[in-house]
Amino acid sequence: MTDLTTLEAELMTAIAAADTAQAIEDVRVKALGKQGAITTLLKSLGGMSPEERQSEGPKIHALREGVTGAITERKTGLERAALDAKLAAETLDMTLPAPAFPQGSVHPVSQVMDELAEIFADMGFSVATGPEIEDDWHNFTALNIPETHPARAMHDTFYFPDKRDGKDMLLRTHTSPVQIRTMTSEKPPIRIIAPGRVYRSDSDATHTPMFHQIEGLVIDKGIHLGHLKWTLETFLKAFFERDDIVLRLRPSYFPFTEPSVEVDVGYSIEKGRRVIGGSEGWMEVLGSGMVHRRVIEACGLDPDEWQGFAFGTGVDRLAMLKYGMDDLRAFFDGDLRWLRHYGFSALDVPTLSGGVGA
Name the site residues for ligand DAH (rule: CB under 6 A).
174, 176, 215, 254, 257, 287-289, 310-312
Residue 197 CA: distances (Å) to CA of 1, 111, 208, 290: 94, 15, 11, 24
Say if CB 26 and CB 18 are below 8 A apart: yes
Residue 19: which of 70, 78, 72 has the closest Cα?
Answer: 78
Taking residue 32's Cβ as centre, other Cβ atoms within 10 Å add up to 17
Shorter beta-carbon distance to ligand DAH: residue 157 or 288: 288
Shorter beta-carbon distance to ligand DAH: residue 11 or 301: 301
Shorter beta-carbon distance to ligand DAH: residue 31 or 228: 228
- Minimum distance from residue 182 beta carbon to ligand DAH (Å): 12
Shorter beta-carbon distance to ligand DAH: residue 36 or 287: 287
- Minimum distance from residue 257 beta carbon to ligand DAH (Å): 4
- Minimum distance from residue 275 beta carbon to ligand DAH (Å): 25
- Minimum distance from residue 264 beta carbon to ligand DAH (Å): 14
- Minimum distance from residue 238 beta carbon to ligand DAH (Å): 19
Instruction: Please give the Cα distance from 290 to 288 (Å, whole number).
Output: 7
CA 293 to chain centre: 40
Shorter beta-carbon distance to ligand DAH: residue 109 or 310: 310
Q: Which residue is nearest to ligand DAH (CB)?
A: 312
Beta strand pairing status for 257-270 and 126-127? unpaired
Shorter beta-carbon distance to ligand DAH: residue 41 or 318: 318
Instruction: Please give the Cα distance from 282 to 177 (Å, whole number).
Output: 29
End-to-end CA, the chain: 104
Say if CB 112 and CB 313 are below 8 A apart: no
Shorter beta-carbon distance to ligand DAH: residue 27 or 286: 286
- Minimum distance from residue 131 beta carbon to ligand DAH (Å): 16
- Minimum distance from residue 261 beta carbon to ligand DAH (Å): 8
Shorter beta-carbon distance to ligand DAH: residue 155 or 237: 155
- Minimum distance from residue 291 beta carbon to ligand DAH (Å): 8
